[in-house]
Amino acid sequence: MAILELRDLTKRFGETVAVDRFTLSVEKGEFVSLLGPSGCGKTTTLQMIAGFETPSGGTILLNGRDLAKVPARARGLGIVFQTYALFPHMTVEENVGFGLEMRKVPADERRRRIAQTLDLVHLSHLSGRYPRQMSGGQRQRVALARALVIEPELLLLDEPLSNLDAKLREEMQLELRRIQQEAGVTTLLVTHDQSEAMALSDRIAVMQGGRLIQEASPFDAYDRPANGFVSSFLGKSNAIPGHLEGGAAGTKLRCRELTLDGPASGETPGPVLISLRPERIEFTGEAEGIVAGRVSERIFLGDKWLFKVETGLGELLVVRRNSGRREPEVGEAVHLFWQAEHLRVLSAESAE
């Protein structure tokens, strides 16, 4: 059964529609991410679920119960704020215990649950510290512990890792996933960071302009993006406009003056936008090459190389794993190859 159900949730601020008929359901124990660019309405959606904003329309159901008339303090949700919002005048222990105190949990049980939760986030040794005396990553853990200790039915996280530096962010991603699974808490995360959403979630809901664009597993969202926006927002992508033609022996794709093998049939012929992931393109010999091109730029990224190649299809991004072999230099003539099955057809209307 769905723990959380959003039905046609809408929020207007005067003329602007921040959230537009947003529908989503989150199952028990699931980790779902709302992913979208800044200003697409993620925070507003979360604030409505938390009870800090009143929806202009639609319903929010928690365990089948309509939350419209339930004030924020009675919803029993665990919330981790982007700024952590720790109480600066309370120690870690007092911060974590606040929610239990409000629930009038007896002192000895309170102590036990605080200790247990601090243990979960690996902070037991800092229970007497004040927030100001801690690093960003540690504060993050306190915020998480404070939200988890009340054993919420749903954990809401608003860009929880965006205030951390890159290295710490990666560590915390793993930690967050571990903690979420150990606590077994249903989680809704809001983020603009596609790699974060992919690393953490069971399911991603991609938002744009207040609307839900695609809802899928991270793998499917990446591999079968619903439209050009999703394909360019999730990782890097080559967008190739062309004309699809059906045929007995599979489809053909006409693009500029070239004709290529198209993806497997089943797609409607007509003008289309094709998405091709840069890591699915290989350098190859002239005989096997699908298109010829010339390397115009080459960037070394440590574990991989990023190339820009001028071809008859336009400029294509190519990503190659750094396997220690010699890679083409800038200005070198190259031939590119890919399996036709990696071409993804995005309907032409969705072209930006």
Partner 1 sequence: MIGTRPWLLSAPALVLFLVMLVTPLIMTAVLSFNSFDFYGGIKPTFGLGNYADVLSDSYFYEIFGRTFMIALVTTVIAALIGTPQAYFMLRMHPFWRSVMILVVLGPLLISVVVRTLGWAILLGNNGVINEALRRFDMIERPIKMMYTSGGIVLALVHVMVPFMILAVWAALQRQDPATEKAAESLGAGPFTVFRRIVLPQAMPGILSGSLIVFSLSASAFATPAILGGRRVKVASTTVYDEFLNTLNWPLGAAIAIILLVAVLAIMVAWNRLVEKRFAGVFQ
Ligand X SMILES: Nc1ncnc2c1ncn2[C@@H]1O[C@H](COP(=O)(O)OP(=O)(O)O)[C@@H](O)[C@H]1O
Measured in whole angstroms, the distance separating CA 260 from the mean position of its chain's CA atoms is 33
Q: How far is the CB of 241 from Mg ion (least distance, A)?
A: 33
Q: Does 43 bind ligand X (CB under 6 A)?
A: yes
Binding range to ligand X, per CB under 6 A, among 22-30, 31-39, 141-149, 161-169: 31-39
Cβ distance to partner 1 smaller for residue 134 or 281? 134
Nearest residue to 156 (alpha-carbon basis) of 62, 47, 71, 70: 47
Q: Work out which of 8, 13, 66, 265 binds ligand X, going by CB under 6 A.
A: 13
* Residue numbers 31-60 binding Mg ion by CB under 5 A: 43
Cβ distance to ligand X smaller for residue 18 or 343? 18
Taking CB within 5 to 8 Å according to partner kind, which of partner 1, Mg ion, ligand X, none is near residue 79? partner 1
Q: How far is the CB of 283 from Mg ion (least distance, A)?
A: 41
Binding range to ligand X, per CB under 6 A, among 38-46, 54-62, 247-255, 325-333: 38-46
Cβ distance to partner 1 smaller for residue 73 or 167? 73
Determine the Cα angle at 157 with ends 183 and 67, to 5°.
Answer: 90
Q: Does 191 bind ligand X (CB under 6 A)?
A: no
What is the rounded distance in angstroms from the CA atom of residue 294 to the CA atom of residue 277?
Answer: 19
Taking CB within 5 to 8 Å according to partner kind, which of Mg ion, ligand X, partner 1, none is near residue 50? partner 1
Q: Does 54 bind ligand X (CB under 6 A)?
A: no
Q: Which residues of the chain form contacts with partner 1 (CB under 8 A)?
A: 50-52, 72-79, 81-83, 85-89, 98-99, 102-103, 130, 132-133, 146, 150
What is the rounded distance in angstroms from the CA atom of residue 93 to the CA atom of residue 104?
Answer: 16
* Residue numbers 265-294 binding Mg ion by CB under 5 A: none
Nearest residue to 91 (alpha-carbon basis) of 133, 150, 122: 133
Burial, 304: exposed, middle or buried (Cβ in 10 Å; 0-12, 13-18, 19+)? middle
Q: Does 44 bind ligand X (CB under 6 A)?
A: yes
Strands (E) across the chain are located at 2-13, 16-27, 31-35, 57-62, 65-66, 78-80, 155-158, 187-191, 203-208, 211-216, 238-245, 252-255, 258-261, 270-276, 282-284, 291-300, 304-311, 314-321, 333-337, 344-347
Identify the bridge partners of residue 245 per DSSP, sorted by sequence position: 252
Q: Work out which of 8, 16, 52, 107 binds ligand X, going by CB under 6 A.
A: 16
Task: Specify the amino acid at residue 18.
Answer: A
Task: Specify the amino acid at residue 248.
Answer: A
The residues binding Mg ion (CB under 5 A) are 43
The residues binding ligand X (CB under 6 A) are 13, 16, 18, 36, 38-44
